[in-house]
Amino acid sequence: MVRLCGAALGLFAFAITILQGLLVNNPVETTLVRAVKAMFGFCVLGLCLGWVAHRVLDEHALRRSNELFKVIDEEEGAAGDAKTDGSTGGASAAGKQAGSAAPQPAAGT
């Protein structure tokens, strides 16, 4: 992607410079020198822009991947906690709750 952006921008600058030189009737040597300079300059600029775009897309893909898999990991963790609570101490915890909720006998009767 980086090289593609550099090549595309360089060739675009070359073509525009050639067309501009032909339209204003510049000498061929002057037009070609300017076109080659523009091509190399814009190729470097395109390489830089392509690298930045590549980094932006990588960061976005990484963030999106973390968001998607974070939700799945949390669901698996919650399911694992529910299984653990139910199999090891679920019955005793229910018994404790039932025992504490049982009515207390009145002291005066």
pLDDT exceeds cutoff 80 at 17:
yes
State residue 70's pLDDT score: 79
Average pLDDT of the segment spanning 32-36: 96
The per-residue pLDDT of the chain, averaged, comes to: 82
Inter-residue contact 14 to 38 (CB < 8 Å): yes
Residue 101's pLDDT band (cuts 50, 70, 90): low
Answer whether residue 37 shows pLDDT above 70: yes
Exposure on the CB side of residue 28, measured as CA atoms within 13 A: 0
Q: What gap in Å lies between CA 24 and CA 58, rounded to an integer? A: 44
Q: How many CB atoms lie within 10 A of CB 22?
A: 11
Task: Compare 1 and 30 and report the one with higher pLDDT.
Answer: 30
What is the torsional sign of CA 33, 34, 40, 43? negative
pLDDT digits (tens, 9 = 90+) for 53-98: 999 999 999 999 888 887 666 677 777 666 666 555 544 444 455 5
Q: 0.85 exceeded by the pTM? A: no
Q: How many CB atoms lie within 10 A of CB 98?
A: 9
Q: Which two tokens stand for residue 98?
A: 């039932």
Please state the domain extents for the chain. Answer: 2-77
pLDDT at 67: 86
